[in-house]
Amino acid sequence: MRILVTGAAGFIGTAITRQLELAGHEWVGLDALIPEAHSATSELPDGVVAGDVREPGPWEHLLDDVDAVCHQAAMVGAGVTVADLPSYAGHNDWGTAELLAAMSRHGRDRLVLASSMVVYGEGRYECPEHGVRLTGTRSVPDLEAGHFDHFCDLCGRPLAWALVPEDAPMDPRSSYAASKLAQEHYAKAWVRQAPAAAIAIALRYHNVYGPMMPRDTPYSGVAAIFRSSLENGEAPKVFEDGGQMRDFVHVDDVARANVKALEAVAGAPAESFAAYNVASGQPIPIIEVARILAGDGPAPEVTGQFRAGDVRHVVASPERATAEIGFTAEVAPAEGIVAFRDAPLRARAG
């Protein structure tokens, strides 16, 4: 296959192009080098063309000789302020809409889309007596008082986290989350409206980490933020009580999931849209991630601070991805996070 990879110069995009080559596929890349993800001195790697998915004219000829599109170009992160809303809507929503329109103009009908666990909002919760319960947003007074967990609405007991399946309700809690869910909705609409029998797969990444993450930026992942603190000789600061459960998935596994999905859409016989969790399947609390990364350095500092839009726990079931596209993570967090302690990071973004 020959694949167009948008965002090909980014952290995840670079890993995808490497895995495509290992799998024997050809690729061409597109990247706008946005400052939230790249430093001012970043250069385009070989095989990557300068271009912005929001402005398809100059680059859309790249669609003429590809079999599928792997859409990674996006503004990422939880969002620093409300002022980031137009950037998320522009890069993620408008950019995806322009890409899908260009694909239809050029008769391309196979798409793999980078989505995120953030579309779920809070994860899945269970009461030992009353089973699965729905949760609302945690109140600021509760968070200020150090009450970080959710409680059963029927008996008041603390709720335990459970694995989130792909058919869980969508409840985005940030501007980034809203934009990722919108991307999925555009992809679903495109599948229905495209002139050919279009196929789209959305991969809902969990906490991605690994070599060449952007360092020291609010738009990066928590693992890179912890690393940046430690490199400055500072203790990594852990919000809430550190008990937040997450699934950390290595960037090489994310790249392998994209290759599996691209091979799946290439052979799919009829129009369809599907979403898959991309996760290690081995949940870990945030405090443990900080401890592993700290090693012999400054011990993590549990601050009790919080961000009102954050969720308590979100941990996925990867079973559907294994069953339907043949993806299973190969890097266990206990090993991958240890290796990440000394992995190179990208230059400061922005």
Residues labelled as active-site residues: 176
- Are 145 and 139 in contact by the 8 Å Cβ rule? The answer is no
The per-residue DSSP string of 60-129 comes to GGGGGG-SEEEE-----SS-SSGGGHHHHIIIIIIHHHHHHHHHHHTT--EEEEEEEGGGG-S-EEEETT
SS3 261: helix
3-state secondary structure of 30: strand
| Strand ordering across the sheet containing 160-164 | 131-133, 124-127, 160-164, 315-316
Length of the chain: 350
Q: What angle do CA 71, 76, 80 make, to 5 degrees?
A: 160
Nearest to 184 by CA among 347, 74, 268, 36: 74
Please give the structure tokens belonging to residue 94: 């408008």
* DSSP H or E run through 207: strand 207-209
- Half-sphere exposure of 261 toward its Cβ, with a 13 Å CA cutoff? 33
**Which DSSP category does 273 fall into?**
E
DSSP-derived 3-state class of residue 152: coil
In the three-class reduction of DSSP (H, G, I as helix; E, B as strand; rest coil), residue 29 is classed as: strand
The HSE-up count of residue 19 (CA atoms within 13 Å, CB side) is 21
DSSP 8-state code for residue 166: T
